[in-house]
Copies of this chain bind each other. A is one copy, B any other.
Amino acid sequence: MKKVYKGNILFTKEKDRFEILGNGYVAVDDNGRVTGVAKDLAALDCDGAEVRDFGDCLLIPAMNDLHVHASQYRNQGLAMDLELLPWLTRYTFPEETRYADTQYAERMYRRFVRDLWRFGTMRACVFATIHTESTRLLMRLFKEAGMGAFVGKVGMNRNCPEALKEPVEEMVSGYESLLKEDTASGLVRPIITPRFIPSCTREMLQACGELAAKYQCPVQSHLSENKAEIMMVRELEPESTCYGDAYDRYGLFGQTPTVMAHCVWTEGEELELMQRRGVTVAHCPTSNFNVASGMAPIRTLLNAGLRIGLGSDISGGHDLSIFRMMVYAIQVSKMHYQQHHTQAFLTLSEAFWMATKVGGSFFGRVGSFEPGYEFDALVIDDSDLNHSNYSLLERLERYIYLGDDRHIRHRFCRGKEIEVKELRS
């Protein structure tokens, strides 16, 4: 039996405009997929279906986070005075070693999943650590919550503390054991995650590429965030023509669905390779600001036809809200606009489309209310912000700029309402 939800519906089919249905209806089938959206219930072929009325609330697609380090949850909002490489060695690596302890991992990961939920993120591409058992735990926590996630057991075996180096064979066997988790629903599954070129020997990269091909798994990593990092990659992989090519040589650059975080300095050959391979960009605007590595040239990347979603990049980024990422993404684009007035800054609809439909596309048909899309949705009660005859679009803009988790009244992932209990820790 279909379910029908009623509310003020806003979503983006295309990047240049919102679809807006005041007091509209969206119908969802038993598999959690949208069958139609309409102003008029009669148009939806839903005789006898239960209609759940969200009154004057906004009903929008849920958020998708394409790049977030669950294992850096403790460091969120800390150490914002360092650049990328010292930040890794002084804050990030020491914290990640603690995830050998599954009790510690459980305490942090429960909070992390709860916080993703709070901010309305129903799907995420997540970095865990090298540790198989705590990574498994994180997968199970997402499953328990009913939220979607691609969870990365991190591959790394050089240029890091000994405690974070894992032999290649153990990475492979650990990853394969994670594939044995029940992933039938497709909501939660492992993702191949070489940390980044500086952390991985050729053998590690080779093994990652082979795993991706063998099991047809998606891939995530970091790309061209920081100039010092790019120089380091050039030295480590001298025969590669660019940083992206260093992944490509090992089958880690679009041979299976691939998302690369940052792409601040991507241009020329690397940009063309991303186009050809259909590699998705995870744009992490707060991280661009905080880590001071540079600002991703999003208009250039968009014009090149790349798919670009948004990532919170905890803890290089400090904010888990993808709504806040929209604001920051627009602001990053304004920095480019100030320097090159030919590069128009992002519009609100473009930022929303990136956060929903583009980000969601990495997880399947997710991020829109078009027929066939999985119903991932948020019900926003913005009544305290809506005190002055704002239009529906103005209400959404104000929620994006001013709202927070308090305004999110209901959350749905694949048609199911998701309620995450308070922390047990």
Chain B hits for A345, CB < 8 A:
81, 292
Alpha-carbon gap, A108 to B389, bound state (A): 13
Residues of A at the B interface (CB closer than 8 Å) are 74, 76-78, 80-81, 108, 111, 289-290, 292-295, 318-319, 327, 330-331, 334-335, 337-338, 345, 347-348, 385, 387-388, 390, 394, 397-398, 400-402, 404, 406, 425
Contact A401 B77 (CB under 8 A): yes
Chain B hits for A290, CB < 8 A:
331, 334
Chain B hits for A387, CB < 8 A:
111, 425
User: Would you give 24 A-B contacts (Cβ < 8 Å), ordered by A?
Assistant: A74-B388, A76-B398, A76-B401, A77-B397, A77-B400, A77-B402, A78-B390, A80-B330, A80-B348, A80-B397, A81-B348, A108-B388, A289-B331, A289-B334, A292-B334, A292-B337, A293-B338, A295-B335, A295-B338, A318-B327, A318-B401, A318-B402, A319-B401, A406-B406
Contact B78 A397 (CB under 8 A): yes
Q: Which residue of B lies closest to A81 (CB)?
A: B347
Choose among B76, B334, B398 the residue that contacts A77 (Cβ–Cβ < 8 A): B398
Contact B292 A338 (CB under 8 A): yes
Alpha-carbon gap, A347 to B290, bound state (A): 12
Chain B hits for A80, CB < 8 A:
330, 348, 397, 401
Q: Which residue of B lies closest to A330 (CB)?
A: B80
Chain B nearest Cβ from A78, distance in angstroms: 6
Chain B nearest Cβ from A285, distance in angstroms: 10
Contact A319 B81 (CB under 8 A): no
Chain B hits for A292, CB < 8 A:
334, 337-338, 345
Please give 10 more A-B residue pairs, beta carbons under 8 A apart, in addition to A80-B397, A289-B334.
A76-B398, A76-B401, A77-B398, A80-B348, A81-B345, A290-B331, A292-B345, A295-B338, A318-B327, A318-B401
Chain B nearest Cβ from A26, distance in angstroms: 26
Alpha-carbon gap, A390 to B337, bound state (A): 39
Chain B nearest Cβ from A284, distance in angstroms: 14
Alpha-carbon gap, A425 to B292, bound state (A): 44
Chain B nearest Cβ from A292, distance in angstroms: 4
Chain B nearest Cβ from A86, distance in angstroms: 14
